[in-house]
Each structure stands twice: as structure tokens, then as C-alpha cells.
């Protein structure tokens, strides 16, 4: 009887929080055609790797509520950059994206200034069209 009670308590203590967290954080998003989506993801990842495409933050500073970020969007000379849109988001939340305007300050170097009220972890995202392929690059950073 004691063993059954202990097993029940251990099961309850481990399963109940898992169910609670699953219900709380599952956003209901279901992907149509997951196999095809996975193949496209693998193809895009290979394209990014083969052409040395990367997003890197070179400078970040915050004065008051103004944030200044400089970053590079590197890619090999074998591909052509057609367009890029840049956004700031918070990781692991459903908050919206903050579009930012990035000015090119050099070859593949960009700078942007924007305003944020909160400190913490953020993600810089670059949605680019490179040689006809839609690429999403992201780089995390911390604002204190």
C-alpha cells in the first residue's frame, strides 16, 4: 500500500506540471505538410551553410531608451542579395515583431537606432531574399 501511494505521488508530481505547462504554452499552431516543411528547412539550412550566410552583431549600446546596434549580414560572392527586412523580437513569446530601419554603413554592414522600454533578451531577425530563396537569419542579444 505504501509503495502504491509513493508511486502515485511521484507520478502526480511529475505528470501534473507537465500537463499544466503543455496547456499553458502550446499556442495551437499546427504545421500543414510537416514532411515537406522539414525538407524545405533542410534545403534552406544547407544553402545558408554552403554560402556562408550569417548575421552577426558587432556593436550594441543603450543610452536611456535609445538602442544603437551595428551588425553585418555576410554572404559569399556566389549569391546575390535581393532584399532584406529587419525586425527585433523577444525570444519565446508571442509578442509581435518591431520593424526597424537599418542603414547600410559599409559593405554588408548595417546600423540602426530604435527605442525600447525594457531590458532583457532580444532577437535581431533578418528576412532576406538571397538568390531567389527566402532566408530567415536571427541573432540573439541582451540589452541591459
pLDDT in tens, 117-131: 778 888 999 999 988
Structure confidence at residue 64 (pLDDT): 85
pLDDT in tens, 1-54: 788 889 989 988 999 888 888 888 877 777 788 899 899 999 999 999 999 899
CA distance 135 to 47: 9
Domains and CATH numbers, the chain: 52-143 (2.60.40.730)
pTM of the model: 0.72
Amino acid at each position: 500500500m505504501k509503495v502504491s501511494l509513493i508511486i502515485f505521488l511521484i507520478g502526480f508530481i511529475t505528470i501534473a506540471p507537465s500537463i499544466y505547462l503543455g496547456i499553458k504554452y502550446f499556442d495551437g499552431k499546427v504545421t500543414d505538410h510537416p514532411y515537406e516543411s522539414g525538407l524545405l528547412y533542410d534545403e534552406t539550412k544547407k544553402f545558408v551553410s554552403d554560402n556562408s550566410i550569417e548575421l552577426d552583431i558587432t556593436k550594441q549600446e543603450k543610452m536611456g531608451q535609445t538602442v544603437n546596434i551595428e551588425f553585418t549580414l555576410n554572404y559569399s560572392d556566389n549569391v546575390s542579395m535581393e532584399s532584406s527586412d529587419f525586425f527585433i523580437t523577444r525570444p519565446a513569446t508571442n509578442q509581435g515583431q518591431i520593424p526597424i530601419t537599418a542603414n547600410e554603413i559599409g559593405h554588408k554592414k548595417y546600423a540602426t537606432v530604435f527605442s525600447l522600454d525594457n531590458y532583457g533578451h532580444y532577437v535581431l531577425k533578418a528576412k532576406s531574399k538571397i538568390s531567389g530563396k527566402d532566408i530567415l537569419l536571427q541573432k540573439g542579444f541582451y540589452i541591459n
